[in-house]
Structure 1
Amino acid sequence: MGPWLDGMTTWLTANPQWLAAAVFIVACVECLAIAGLIVPGTVLLFAIAVLAGNGALSLGETLLLGFLGGLLGDVVSYLLGRHFHQSIRRLPGLRQHPQWISGAEAYFQRYGIASLLVGRFIGPLRPMLPMVAGMFDMPFPRFIAVSLLAAAGWTVAYLLPGWATGAAIRLPLPEGFWPEAGVVVGSIAVLVGLSITSSLRRHRNATLIMSVMSLVILAGLFIGYPYLIQFDQGLIALVQEHRSASLDRIMVMVTQIGEFRAMFIISGVLTLLLLIARQWRQAIFAGATLMFTALANTGSKWFFARVRPEVLTDPLTSYSMPSGHSSGAFALFLTLAVLAGRGQPPRMRLTWLLLGCLPAASIALSRVYLGAHWPTDILAGAMLATCVCAASLALSQRQTPLPAMPARVWWLVLPSMIALCAFMAMRHLPHALLRYAY
């Protein structure tokens, strides 16, 4: 596949007018039944996103094209399954490789709707699950609602890193940017690698390892942020160059979910709902994680007294390090992800954690986009929340593992969380847009 991939990217570089179509088509093929297992779509998507970030397409255009392409792949796969049902096993490819569909079928039967959301981030399952959903006659409105949510998260996770890499290569960044970025990215990679390895091997202290590693990185950021100024300034300059009125509106809506008052209300409602449902241990875990994260963030912010970037027309006067939006969002969504993964195998628990990081990272990144925080601020907030969440989980499971919550509790919790987040995103939007003008 190497020469073919090199030839494809070389041709797109020479013909950038076809890049938009390439993003759409590759995203569609990556999510298309059978084809998504054959074509190296993940690698190709990253390469095309790098080319797009090199000046050919804006971030909004790249994400929209990827989202629409992936959604089309889902719908076509679903319709194939709905039309052929069990006869689809006789199609070319599936006849020679029955394991491709049997694995997705077992996964769908076990996890239902959640399989479409979680399986989107598991390579071999991603293109097959929509087809299996059609085979089992899942109602189309229910399928499309879940697919819209899954496609949005998948697009950000798979296209944003490549686009940002392309944009960073194109711009004249400060001289020390790349070494500092290497230190930051390397530290996060070590944390993620150790967490995944210890979890998959069912290490008894996996949660404690994650907490300690997060604390070490947090301490490094607290001590070393004055020496990461090229990294901070370079990323701020990169992001500010690509601001637009339409993306501003989206980012302001996202950032409003992470405001202190919004996080306080959402966290309080979550803990209260768990208490009403008599999920005592889960309520204690959630309440402790959210409360101690908020207290630690406030104390750290006053201790370091770091000044915010001077990007906004009317700069915020509160201190910057660590980001309260980042720590609050990661604490909330990691808590929900941990509760969702209870009683499931390690691979599923890790996938739930990945899903929880997506909305949290969106809120955190909105702060850098809007110029309200330095990049190291949001990293410190994420590490703080991860450390507290992992430590709280380890303490909660000292004697017995935290049990899985019944489905009826999730039908109470999830709609409430979604409704609250949507309300917080839309409230006082015109005033918020003026607040974050640059």
Structure 2
Amino acid sequence: MTDLLNQLVTFIGENPTLANAVVFLIAMGEALFLIGMVVPSTVVLVGAGTLVGLGKLDPWPIFIWTMLGAIAGDAISYWIGHIYKDSIKSVWPFSRYRTLVERGEAYFLRHGGKSVFIGRFVPGVKAIVPGIAGMVGMNATRFTVINVTSAIAWTIVHLGPGVLAGTAFGALGEISGRLATVLGIFLVVLFIAIMLARWLILIVLPLYAGSRTRIVARLAQRKSRFAKWFARMLDPAHPRSAGMLVSATLLLVTVPVFVALAAAISPDNGLQRADTAMRNLFQGLRTPAADEFMTTMTMLGDGIVTSIVACVVIAYLFIRRAWRRATGFLIAIAGAAVFVPLLKLLLHRARPIDLYTGADALSFPSGHATLNTVLYGIIAVLVAHDRSPLVKAGVFSVAVALIGSIAFSRVYLGAHWVSDVIGGLAFGTAMVAAFAFVFGSIHNEKVGRWALAGLVSVTMTVVGSAHVMRNFDSGLAMYQPVTPTVVLSRQEWLGEGWQDLPAHRIELNGEREEPLILQWAGDPDALARALAPDGYVPAPAWSLATFAGFLAGQTPPEDLPALPRIQNGRGAELVLIKRDGDLAETPEEETGGRWVLRLWPSQFRLKVDGGDPVRIHVGSLIHERILRPLNELSTPRADRDLPHDGENPLPKLPGVVTRTRPDGSSVVLGGPAIAPQR
């Protein structure tokens, strides 16, 4: 996994012209009138800044091209507004988003010329204000000065965090590549979750204001009381209509997701195989430093901490005489606390590792993910209630970051399967959405939002810190990495044990792929040396030069890197290729194909006399045809998962034995660990 990420970063760093073009187009698209509301500039630019910090991209070209893109986007939007003036509200596609245009116009009139500078940093209006400036006749020279200065500041703000992160990752990479990879995955997951929450609050809801108006008009015409009530709740003029819409949408999405996951649980299906593959992936990335951080995060979500925080919130709400919200909060927390163990007992799914006793020893759904989502999700709803979109986005960003960190720690530490955590997040989100839907319209209960936020922060900090400091050592020992291994003697392996090893490659999504026709005990390089006389050579490493081979129509098959394939969450330790000659049948297939042999580590070990057990690897041998569309590209396509008789060199290796599976397929057992004993 680390090698794959390193290859990706290296490829981007070796192609700076492409990176410059991407940041220019993204920065320009982000500023285009209305279009910029759906352009993910932040994600791309933070990523570019990270590559700068890693030393893979030169900072000045990236900075200049990002700034020029921002300037160009605002300038285009300005001249669109300048040309169309007020008639822009009736011109497609702007007429579909008349509400957004009017919102931007009001923002400009309220803040004047400085809105061009400020608006660039405000989601929801940044893609509208420059066009409005042109509509109202702002002087072009003045606009250009503000445009350029704001673009410089905006570029620094967007690239700066990535540069700092990249510099930190680079330093961590010198210490531990795996630690840098885990931290990178963790931050990317959190970043995407936070950006989705902000995107929903600041962009999606305003974008669909016009559609909501039409729906409300239709509902208002109906005589049903429910239709009229629903129309009032969804009315864009209603201060709580956006929250009601979000709550209803989340309920419609999260409940089916949770039900589907619960229904899919069985001992041997695609979901379980996918969970196992993901667990193996994270187990291979664990480091002591990351273990300490993730143990701390998971302990902040322990039952003792969530219980005390929940009790403090309930007491506070009752003291403030927010009777209905306090009752709803109590029902939601108690309901989740009762539902999780009951469902665990019903489904009886085993955890990846042995933890706890009773119902807590079972796995689906994750109690940490469920209860913390309900607790901090409802607190976020109470604190953000009736606040501005920016405040709501900030509050929910903090909640998502905390919940996501706790949920991620459960997967990283191996305490839960990925589907357990997703199921817990889905059920918890559904509970939060139901609370917001039922209690969001209450306006006559004064909660004291910032007092509640401060109380929760202090309680969690004090209780969580005390819990972590007191129990950290035992928690760290509890979550120590457990790598399940099965040790076989030579007699056991050659007898029946070989049947326990996987017969097919398992993808990260849990699907069974090509057959695994080789089990190799010992050094993979010994296999490479044994197959060298048959023409098998190590596959080229990924680089800009080898990647360019896919873009040329005459690249020999042996010069193309092998596409990465994962077996049960693990990357291949050995990849060999052999050209098999000219197999072309059409003008689009110019130079034939190749054989690709891959070898992956397994959890099985073989006892060796006088030494430590050696790992048993599993391998596949597939055929790829190299397609040549229009003689301009070289595209490998697997067309056979098994070699025919006479094409398989494995049974001819010295010291190997062949076994037949119940389905009639064969598997070769070999390696230096058994060859001397034959």
Settle same-fold status: TM greater than 0.5.
yes
Where do 1:286-365 residues align within 5 Å? 286-310=329-353, 315-317=355-357, 318-346=361-389, 348-365=391-408
Higher Rg of the two aligned structures: 2
Q: Is the 8 A contact 1:339 1:404 kept in 2?
A: yes
Q: How much does 1:248 deviate?
A: 0.8
- Identify the residue that residue 220 of structure 1 maps to in structure 2: 260
Q: Which has the larger displacement, 239-248 or 342-351?
A: 342-351
Name the aligned partner's letter for residue 390 of structure 1.
A
> Which of 169, 173, 185 is the matching residue for 1:164?
185
> Is 1:98 equivalent to 2:114 in the alignment?
yes
Q: How much does 1:209 deviate?
A: 2.4
> Is 1:232 equivalent to 2:275 in the alignment?
yes
- Identify the residue that residue 422 of structure 1 maps to in structure 2: 465
Where do 1:81-120 residues align within 5 Å? 98-99=114-115, 101-103=117-119
Residues 406/393 of structure 1: CA separation in 2 closer, same or farther (3 Å cut)? closer
Unaligned runs of 5+ in 2: 1-7, 17-22, 28-40, 56-112, 124-149, 158-179, 210-240, 482-678
- Identify the residue that residue 430 of structure 2 maps to in structure 1: 387
Residues 407/45 of structure 1: CA separation in 2 closer, same or farther (3 Å cut)? closer
Partner-residue secondary structure (3-state), 1:349: helix
Superimposed CA distance per residue, residues 229-266 of structure 1 (whole angstroms, 9 cap, x where no aligned partner): 23312221121111111111111111112222322222
Name the aligned partner's letter for residue 215 of structure 1.
V
Q: TM-score, normalised by structure 1?
A: 0.57
> Is 1:370 equivalent to 2:410 in the alignment?
no
Q: Is the 8 A contact 1:49 1:166 kept in 2?
A: no
Q: Is the 8 A contact 2:254 2:429 kept in 1?
A: yes
> Which of 208, 213, 226 is the matching residue for 2:248?
208
Q: Is the 8 A contact 1:214 1:387 kept in 2?
A: yes
CA distance in 1, matches of 2:465, 2:122: 34
Superimposed CA distance per residue, residues 290-318 of structure 1 (whole angstroms, 9 cap, x where no aligned partner): 222212212211111101114xxx55551
Q: How much does 1:379 deviate?
A: 0.5
Q: How much does 1:380 deviate?
A: 0.5
CA distance in 1, matches of 2:387, 2:248: 19
Residues 41/258 of structure 1: CA separation in 2 closer, same or farther (3 Å cut)? closer
> Is 1:45 equivalent to 2:46 in the alignment?
yes
CA distance in 1, matches of 2:394, 2:319: 28
Partner-residue secondary structure (3-state), 1:278: coil
Name the aligned partner's letter for residue 433 of structure 1.
L
CA distance in 1, matches of 2:350, 2:307: 24
Name the aligned partner's letter for residue 209 of structure 1.
T
Superimposed CA distance per residue, residues 264-302 of structure 1 (whole angstroms, 9 cap, x where no aligned partner): 222112211222333334322322222222122122111
> Which of 476, 480, 484 is the matching residue for 1:437?
480
- Percent identity over the alignment? 22
Where do 1:67-216 residues align within 5 Å? 98-99=114-115, 101-103=117-119, 163-164=184-185, 197=204, 201=209, 202=241, 204-216=244-256
CA distance in 1, matches of 2:460, 2:11: 46
CA distance in 1, matches of 2:186, 2:403: 21
> Which of 260, 268, 293 is the matching residue for 2:311?
268
Q: How much does 1:384 deviate?
A: 0.8
Superimposed CA distance per residue, residues 366-398 of structure 1 (whole angstroms, 9 cap, x where no aligned partner): 111111100000011111111111112222246
Q: Is the 8 A contact 1:251 1:366 kept in 2?
A: yes
Q: Is the 8 A contact 2:306 2:372 kept in 1?
A: yes
Name the aligned partner's letter for residue 258 of structure 2.
L
CA distance in 2, matches of 1:166, 1:278: 40
> Which of 291, 302, 316 is the matching residue for 1:248?
291
Superimposed CA distance per residue, residues 85-125 of structure 1 (whole angstroms, 9 cap, x where no aligned partner): xxxxxxxxxxxx83355459999xxxxxxxxxxxxxxxx99
Q: Which has the larger displacement, 335-344 or 219-228?
A: 219-228
Residues 309/359 of structure 1: CA separation in 2 closer, same or farther (3 Å cut)? same
Partner-residue secondary structure (3-state), 2:365: coil
Residues 50/380 of structure 1: CA separation in 2 closer, same or farther (3 Å cut)? farther
- Identify the residue that residue 119 of structure 1 maps to in structure 2: none
Q: CA RMSD in A?
A: 4.5
Q: Is the 8 A contact 1:301 1:320 kept in 2?
A: yes
Q: How much does 1:358 deviate?
A: 1.0
CA distance in 2, matches of 1:8, 1:435: 35
Name the aligned partner's letter for residue 164 of structure 1.
I
Name the aligned partner's letter for residue 264 of structure 1.
S
Q: Is the 8 A contact 1:254 1:425 kept in 2?
A: no
Name the aligned partner's letter for residue 42 of structure 1.
V
CA distance in 1, matches of 2:342, 2:349: 13
Q: Flag the structure with higher strand content.
A: 2
CA distance in 2, matches of 1:10, 1:49: 14
The size of the alignment, in residue pairs, is: 301
Superimposed CA distance per residue, residues 158-196 of structure 1 (whole angstroms, 9 cap, x where no aligned partner): x989943999xxxxxxxxxxxxxxxxx9xxx89x96997
Q: Flag the structure with higher helix content.
A: 1
CA distance in 2, matches of 1:294, 1:302: 13
CA distance in 2, matches of 1:398, 1:11: 49
Partner-residue secondary structure (3-state), 2:457: helix
Superimposed CA distance per residue, residues 331-357 of structure 1 (whole angstroms, 9 cap, x where no aligned partner): 111112111211124454344323211
Q: Is the 8 A contact 2:294 2:409 kept in 1?
A: yes
Residues 196/308 of structure 1: CA separation in 2 closer, same or farther (3 Å cut)? farther
CA distance in 2, matches of 1:8, 1:299: 46
